[in-house]
Structure 1
């Protein structure tokens, strides 16, 4: 065996240390340089957000406000002045007349004439009609002549206006009041019988 060609152990140790140093430097470079560049080369994370869809709904424009109309106030009309002169209470008069009953129908055989009596119409037995307030205020006056049918009991069973006073209110007032009177009935052949009597009533104002 040739011990002259045996390798030097010192050189061997130096070579191994160089290899180890190379690997250490390589690892350090990878850790500090290449790893950082690799991280920088990676793309940044993308952030995503879900946005609610905004609906653009076209709302109709609001209606225009109603026009303001200036309504003028109604014209002032002063109430008419009515001067009503108060009149003194009227003085009424009642004029009575009697109407004879119609003659009895003729008979074939002659007989003595019947004795008849017309109704007795006394004004004092009646309550005077009330003067209508409207007629008094308007100055209405006049005389009304009535025909009254007096029954067997003296009460008026029918009435009618024979001659008007010219005012319907006065005629009705006299007819309604005098129809409630009670008179003496007419007499025919000694027994009470219905008969017509005439009565005149005058509405007048006191002077």
Structure 2
């Protein structure tokens, strides 16, 4: 009676193996079974204990794939402490340094000095021209003396009268007034009548004759 060779279940094949690995594993199992069968045959013939079976049937059991184990969800990582970020560094303003100016390649010729601005010159103040007063005592005028009133002689009237005479540029008496009376109207009137007919040397401003006034004293005295 032949013993049936029972192959080990193919569950030994590692699940989740690739087709190439499965083929290699299957080939290894078949060779192992063949070696075992050869060993059994060798010992049965030698010891004549076991009659060689007429045939050896090999039956391959279908491979049962285990369902893939579901991966257990990993515990959530512990919350990380918030990392304090350092405050952003403000960029320091960079002052732009002006580039040194390139030396000029030309030379300015020296300019002539600016002439001073002439200051306005005030016109010279003319020197005051001396005024020569009018005269009445020149000998060439031949002015007659006043007539002594006869009544004033009998009454012994004496005195000195001052007459203010306005003389024209031609030397004539334009106006005669009593500046100081002699105390006797007859004497004053006789003096005014005589001087009103006199000729005068007119006053002069430089070489120009001008109108002016002059005071003429007339004295009445009994001899």
Fold similarity call, TM over 0.5: no
TM-score calculated relative to the size of structure 2: 0.42
Higher relative contact order (CA 8 A, sep 6+): 1
Larger Rg belongs to: 2
Bigger helix share: 1
TM-score, scaled relative to structure 1: 0.45
The structure whose residues are more often strand, as a share, is: 1
